[in-house]
Amino acid sequence: MATAISAIPNFDVTQLKNPHNIRVGIVTAQWNNDITGPMEQGALAVLEKAGLIPENIRAASVPGSYELPVAARWMLESGCDAVVCIGCLIKGDTPHFEFISESVAKGLMDLNLQSGKPVIFAVITTLTHEQALDRAGGKLGNKGAEGAEAALHMVQLKQQLLP
């Protein structure tokens, strides 16, 4: 995924072919909602800028990041061409952070490969709340918006490779 420092080169979301035919889901974890809320808004803004029609943008929330993989699967089963999974995990004093981070990453990667559709990992994993804010529309960009860009890039690539 892109960062505020290096965007996806040569990709402009406003130049998609037939954006009105693209269906994208956004699944947002409610845990750390002060972080994930702005990330979701960033993702929605990118999809709207790209020209997707509102009916083809599905948004749902789940309690926490651990629930992202199954909700993403349901989004794909409902007809989405790609899903952006938004979450925020902040390291604490126990190994819980590692278990959840690893499980979510593996679950989303497996879903990518099993479905053949992009399931974007827009889950930020940080050491502090301040680092998370920096990535949710702060000085390091908005990882939700970047996740939506990555989803559209992958949908376009699939259209080019598998017409």
64: its two tokens: 């926490």
Q: CA geometry: angle at 73 spanning 71 and 77, to 5°? A: 115
C-alpha to C-alpha distance for 21 and 54, rounded to whole angstroms: 11
Q: CA geometry: angle at 22 spanning 113 and 77, to 5°? A: 45
Closest CA to 1 of 117, 133, 152, 156: 152
129 among known catalytic residues: no
3-class state of residue 45 by DSSP: helix
C-alpha to C-alpha distance for 63 and 45, rounded to whole angstroms: 23
Of 20, 96, 129, 153, catalytic? 96
Instruction: Tell me the catalytic residues.
Output: 96
